Structure 1
Amino acid sequence: MPPLATGGARAVPGADRRHRDPGGVRRQPRGFAAPRLAAVSEGLAELWEQLVDAMVILAREGLAHGDLSPYNILVHEGRLVIIDLPQIVDVVAHPTGPEFLDRDARNVATWFTARGLAAADGASLAGLLRAEAGVD
């Protein structure tokens, strides 16, 4: 699957525990799954940039993850892998679609901000995503 963002973040449908396709899960050496973002404490500025890039690409396609959080983002060899995509939302067609963009932005920005990354601004990210999706 090609990268979703120039920063290298990827979206891998089916790479979560609800899907039984072990080929879709990114594995570390010795068979361990890549850690969730929630368990990572280094390189957060670069990971934030990757995540913003990926979210912008989704928004340009009129999509939001719909339940984005540090628990459904993996970090594989310094690159983000967005998982758990079955609930992806068409933000243009859905009556409350823009609210999904806002929630995803708020969820991830809150996590990054709590870990000291001042650049993680949920309101600014939500505005950017709405503009990119054309629902501003």
Structure 2
Amino acid sequence: MYEALKSKKKKISLIGLGYVGLPLALEFAKKFSVIGFDINADRVELMKRGIDPSEELDSSDFEGKDIQFTANPEDLKDAHFHIVAVPTPVDEHKVPNLKPLYGASATVGKYLKKGDYVVYEST
């Protein structure tokens, strides 16, 4: 898998482009072909213009990267290595809300192919 990713024959997808997912996607996009997916189409449009909605990254951080930003889940079918980085907030009793994780898993699951990988990065 690594060689196929390195040679850009296969792609990485990053699901959830928040304060953890976006910097991770941009870092991977220095060496690999990346699909950056987020359910918030307005955020995706900003990222396509090189704007970080959380204002943590500069526009220069987006330059020269091999990344396709999308809010269309069907684009995930083109990836073979998926990284899920969605929020898992906790309530006042320290119980995590796993709905975003379940939702992202269901979305990725629709487009998984034999031999694909899924990695979870809890935020």
Q: TM-score, normalised by structure 1?
A: 0.32
Query: More strand by proportion, 1 or 2?
Result: 2
Query: More helix by proportion, 1 or 2?
Result: 1
